[in-house]
Amino acid sequence: MLSNFSLDRFARWSGGVAAAAGAATPEELSACFTAAAGVLLDSDRVYVGFYRRDITSVTIDDAGPDRWNRDYDARVYRLDPFFQRFASTRQDFLLPLSALRDGDFQLSPYYREFYGPSDSFDEITGVFNLDRLTAGYVTFLRRNGEPPFGERDLALACAAGGATRLILEKLFHLCRLRDKGGAIEVARSGLSPREREIARHLIEGGNAKTIARSLSISPGTARNHIKQVYRKLGVHSQVELLAAIREAARD
C-alpha cells in the first residue's frame, strides 16, 4: 500500500469491502462499499452501478433514489465521456475526468445537462467489463470547493482495482438474482403470454430491435408490445420497469 496511508483508513476500507462481499442485497452492498471507497479516496460521494451497451445505465442507490442519478440513468448517460469510452472499447479502464474531457468542459452538453447542476467538480471512474453487454462502474466524486483528485488518489484507486472488480461482480450477481425474481412477478401479472415474453426480454436488457430479431417480428410490432407492457405495468420506460421490478422483489 502507498506511503502515508494510515492504518485506520486501511481498516475502514478493508472492513467495508468485507461487509460488501457478504451483503444480501444490491443496496446493502452499495452502502457498505461506497462508504469504504469514500474513505479510501476522501471523496464527497461514491456511486456504483452498471453500463449496458446500447441499452441503459443503472445506478445502485444505497439510500433511496438520488434525483441526479435518476436523471442520469434515464436521459444523459450517453453524453458521459466515461460511458462513451466504455461504448467504444471492450477494455477495462480507471481514469480521472481530465483524461477524457475535451476542450472547455463547462460548455459541453454533458456539463450543461448533468455535471454542473449536480455540483460535481472532479471525478475518477473505473469501468470493469462483466460480460459482453455489461460493465460495472465505480465513480469517485468531489464537489465544488474541494481540491481536485491527484496522482496519489489515482494510484490508490488503481491499487484497489482488484477488490473493486470483485465487489462489482458480486453486485452483478445480486442484481441478476433479483431480476429473476422480478421475472416471476411479471409472469403473475395481467400481461398476455406475448407481453410477458416481451417483458422478460426487457428485464434481460433487450430493446425493440433485439426483441424483434429474437421473436421474428418487426421492430414496429415489438415497439407496440413494449408500449402495452409499460401501460399495463404503470411505467414509462425500461429504467422505470427495472426499478419497479427491484421494488417488487424488495417487498
Q: What is the dihedral of CA 222, 228, 231, 237, to 10 degrees?
A: -10
pLDDT tens string 44-93: 999 999 998 866 788 888 766 677 887 788 778 888 999 999 999 999 99
Q: Which pLDDT does position 232 carry in this prediction?
A: 81
Q: What is the dihedral of CA 28, 86, 115, 41, to 10 degrees?
A: 50
| Domain 7-173 CATH class label | alpha beta
Residues forming CATH 1.10.10.10 domain(s) in the chain: 189-250
* Number of residues assigned to the chain: 251
* pLDDT averages per 10-residue partition of the chain, 251 residues: 66 93 90 94 93 81 73 83 93 94 85 87 95 92 92 94 95 77 55 80 82 87 91 82 64 50
- DSSP-assigned beta bridge partners for residue 45: 141
Nearest-5° Cα angle at 139, 137 to 145: 170
Q: What is the full DSSP assignment across 200-224?
A: HHHHTT--HHHHHHHHT--HHHHHH
Within 10 angstroms of residue 212's Cβ, the number of other Cβ atoms is 19
**At 92, phi and psi to the nearest 5?**
-70, 155
Q: What is the full DSSP assignment across 145-177?
A: TSPPP-HHHHHHHHHTHHHHHHHHHHHHHHHHH
* Amino acid occupying residue 235: V
Q: Which residues contact 166 (CB under 8 A, 6 or more apart)?
A: 21
Does CATH place domain 189-250 in 1.10.357.10? no
Handedness of CA 31, 21, 83, 98 (dihedral sign): positive
Residues forming CATH 3.30.450.80 domain(s) in the chain: 7-173
As separate numbers, helices (DSSP H) first and strands (DSSP E) second, the chain gives 11, 5
Residue 93 in contact with residue 124, Cβ under 8 Å?
no
Q: Cell numbers at residue 215, please?
A: 421473436
